[in-house]
Amino acid sequence: MASKKQRRTATVKTKQQKRKMKKSVLFLVITALVGFLVFFFLTLFDYVYPPVDGQGKVAKKKDKQEVTVYFSDANERFLVPEKRYVPKEEKPSDQARELVKVLLDGSRTGFVNTFPEKVEVTNVKIDDGTAYVSFNKNLTKNHPGGSASEMATIYSLTNTLTANIPTIKKVKIMIAGKEIDSIKGHIDTRQAFGANKELIVQAVKEK
């Protein structure tokens, strides 16, 4: 049978545990409340004072639009379409740039990418129906080469841009804003290319 001292000690320990429990619960409640208030006021601030761009204009969230981009099949003989969503731009050149970024990002459904790694689009200009698409030097530096691979790169780009932007009829590939003879020595890229629908296999995969 427990002595009075033991019972008193047990009672004190129980009270201490209850106090610790209350403090823990109170801490969690306060943390949750503070988090909610921070989120609420940040959201309210963004609503009252919308973010602005570099020119002092209110930055608007851009609508998305569905597009069809083209990657290569496993044998690099045909192009296969893939549905994606990109920001909707007002200027055709900006829209073209978004499409090129999707190609550089690569397929999300298992198709073969038509651009090597570390390639970046540096500029897109549209003049008289021709899109002049400039890349960094990694396009020619990292490209695997070969007629099939070069053809896949050229026509995945050309078919993607002409299919989604009606004002683009042809596409010319450039490096750092300058004309190049070829990507890797097989296909002449001094000319602008039109769409080649014969290379397309109609097997669309959703994102």
Q: Residue holding tokens 């990418």?
A: 113
What's the confidence (pLDDT) of residue 15? 65
- Give a yes or no: residue 204 inside a domain: no
Q: Residues 72, 171: one domain?
A: yes
Window from 18-27, 36-45, 61-70, 173-182 with minimum mean pLDDT: 36-45
Q: Residues 117, 48: one domain?
A: no
Share of the chain above pLDDT 70, in %: 78
DSSP 108: S
What's the confidence (pLDDT) of residue 62? 73
Last residue of a domain, one of 31, 61, 91: 61
Q: Residues 101, 155: one domain?
A: yes
Q: Residues 47, 134: one domain?
A: no
Q: How far is CA 204 from CA 43, 82, 102, 114, 164, in A?
A: 39, 5, 16, 17, 15
Q: How confident is the model at residue 163 (pLDDT cuts 50, 70, 90)?
A: very high
Q: Which two tokens stand for residue 7?
A: 């019972």
Supply the mean pLDDT for the chain.
Answer: 86
More confident residue, 73 or 3: 73
Number of domains in the chain: 2
Q: Which two tokens stand for residue 202?
A: 């109609």
- Give a yes or no: residue 206 inside a domain: no
Q: How confident is the model at residue 37 (pLDDT cuts 50, 70, 90)?
A: confident
Q: Residues 56, 132: one domain?
A: no
Q: Residues 34, 16: one domain?
A: yes
Q: Residues 132, 48: one domain?
A: no
Is residue 103 pLDDT above 70, yes or no?
Answer: yes
Q: Residues 139, 180: one domain?
A: yes
CA-CA distance, 87 to 158, in Å (whole number)? 20
β-bridge pairing 79-87 and 64-72: antiparallel
* Domain housing 47: 1-61
Q: Which of 188, 189, 135, 129 is nearest to 162 (CA)?
A: 129
The CA-CA-CA angle for residues 127, 113, 191, to 5°, reads 30
* pTM assigned to the model: 0.69
3-class secondary structure, 126: strand
